[in-house]
Chain A
Amino acid sequence: MQPPLEKIIEFRNVIKRFGATSAVDNVTFSVDAGATVSLLGPSGCGKTTTLRLISGFEDPDEGTIEIAGESMLGKRPYERNVGLLFQHYALFPHMTVAENIAYGLKHRHWPKAEIGGRVREMLRLVQLQGFEDRRPGQMSGGQQQRVALARVLATGPKLVLLDEPLSALDAKLREELRLELKQILTAVGSTTIVVTHDQDEAMSLADHIIVMNRGRIEQQGTPDEIYMRPQSAFVAAFIGRTNWFHGRISGTPGDAFLRLTTDAGTVLAIPGPGPQRSEKWSVCIRPERISVASVEADANRPGDNLLRGQVVDVVNMGAEIHYIVDGAEGRAMVVEPNREGPRVRKGDNVRLFFRAEDCVVLAQGDG
């Protein structure tokens, strides 16, 4: 069933300055009802300011923000129907779990008679029945996280904002809660914006990712698009691991493959049709798109790339094996799924094999 594509939030040409710098610099995006969108970027990229602009803790200097079709200009946080899950939960330490969850209901003027039932319903949703009378200080980080989520969802906000929702938890718990968080958000059908610097968090929770850098949107798209087809060196470098080659492009426009001649003199096949100007270009290839081949391997199809190198390190990560290979182009990283242990050893001479189609050609940037 296709949900109606109502825009829950519309951010248009928003600028927010702090002193001389623009924390948010002409940002425009919108989120459809029921969607989960992630604002992803390094610290200082403007994602937190964006979140605070949506919450109403900051006012934009320019541009408009609409929530459910209503302009939010000059509206206080309590005049907006927005829920915010704080990074460190911000549970009220002097109130019980039930009081924490009931707080929003009380101030959103729910009838007194319904509050108790709603609190129990929320506790059931986050699987914390029986914890009503605990205080946040007596609970584990994961439990506090759930209480905070219950508190956010209790009032049924139009838009739910999650600020680095899993960063305060340890790795194991993070994985568990990530899945649970996704299920809960799907169950209540909320429209969600996840603000995070952690690509795993963004990739796993969101169906649409907005990558931000220096106050601007670098790229937006599905997790697949962002990962497979980064549009800037920054995105390619920020999301996942990447091997880089820098050089000049040559070839005939319209050909299936072009050539990249690197600074070290290696010639690589890259996907065409593409740019032909002889400026400097960067080509990136994901480590799992490269495989380690024996020295005798041959390039037998157009578009095959084979590079010589020597293995300097082999790391067994359990699910996958990382090979670090040094060659004429510098250091490359190869990631292969771990089937029967490492296929080559440290010190082995190998060739690295990858296809031109898996390369992404990008203008040389600040990535």
Chain B
Amino acid sequence: MSGRLLDNVFWLAGLLMVGVIICFLITPIIVTTIMAFDARAYLGPLPPPALSFRWFAQFFSDDYFLRGLTTSIQLAVISVAVSVSIGISTAIAVDRVSFAGKDALISLFLSPLLVPPVVIGFALLLFLSHLGLVNGLARLMCGHIIITAPYTIRATLAGLSGIDRSLTEAALILGATERRAFWDVTFPLARTSIVSGAIFAFAVSLDDVAVSIMLTDANTYSLPVALISSMRANFDLSIAAASVMLMLVTLTLILVLDRFVGFNRVIGQGVFRS
């Protein structure tokens, strides 16, 4: 009897916890979204009496933000392109050969996921100024490549490990060179994984604050850094508007990812028999 009662209590506690977590995840986002459309010129209590796009308009009329946005997009696009190339080549090299310390090497490649971003940012700042690299965009680029590469490496590795080695061998014995076999067989089959790695990397680059804030200079800063600085100077709701837009971008990426991965999964159904 008491066993059953305890079971029920634990069930309830579990459900309650799920509820609390959902509240803490969703509520702030809802509040931010509502505030972004607040028509009042000052920070007032919820709910806002009227809705408008004024904070969005203000965001887009602010050169400081726009500059951050431009830099962020440049950073994201270029660093993702670079990390995807790094990810593919590293993953292939590591996947193809086996040697002592392979796992350790992979862990090293993935270590930026574990090292606190502040540490990465600070270390990189010191290192790059020793090298004499003071250009803000170049510095940010280095930082973003370092924090995004683990995502592309890991995703590509996962994709490659799902590809039967005999498929490549089949291509070779049918007359394709190693390079041809890669482009005809390995790459198309790993593409889904590579794309999902790229999308993750893009989101990471777009959202990063901790590394970027270390590497920013007076003229080059990413949007999240701009948002934080302006929040300290004069807090207004254009930050909420920017947050909503960042969330929209992330949401879009997630939808694209789901679509892409889901789509391919249907096409490739039941293919990896061996």
Contact = CB atoms under 8 A, between A and B. Distances in A.
Nearest to B274: A88
Interface stretch (A75-83, A175-183, A282-290): A75-83
B195 to A, nearest CB: 14
A136 B173 contact: no
A227 interface: no
Interface string B232-272: 00000000000000000000000000000000000111111
Interface stretch (A7-15, A33-41, A102-110): A102-110
A78 B189 contact: no
A107 B166 contact: no
B173 A107 contact: no
Nearest to A83: B173
B268 A107 contact: no
Given A88-B164, A93-B189, A94-B188, A55 B173 contact: yes
A151 interface: yes
Contacts of A131: none
Interface string B173-191: 1111110100011001100
A137 B174 contact: no
Interface in B126-171: 164, 166-167, 169-171
B78 interface: no
Task: Name the interface size band of chain A.
Answer: 20 to 34
B176 A86 contact: no
A90 B175 contact: no
Interface in A248-264: none
B262 to A, nearest CB: 16
B169 A104 contact: no
Given A93-B189, A93-B268, A103-B184, A86 B170 contact: yes
17 contacts: A56-B173, A57-B172, A82-B173, A84-B169, A86-B169, A88-B164, A90-B164, A91-B170, A92-B171, A93-B167, A93-B271, A103-B184, A104-B175, A106-B175, A107-B175, A136-B271, A155-B175
Given A92-B167, A155-B175, 15 more contacts: A57-B172, A78-B175, A83-B173, A86-B170, A88-B274, A89-B274, A90-B167, A90-B169, A91-B170, A93-B271, A94-B271, A103-B171, A107-B174, A107-B176, A107-B180
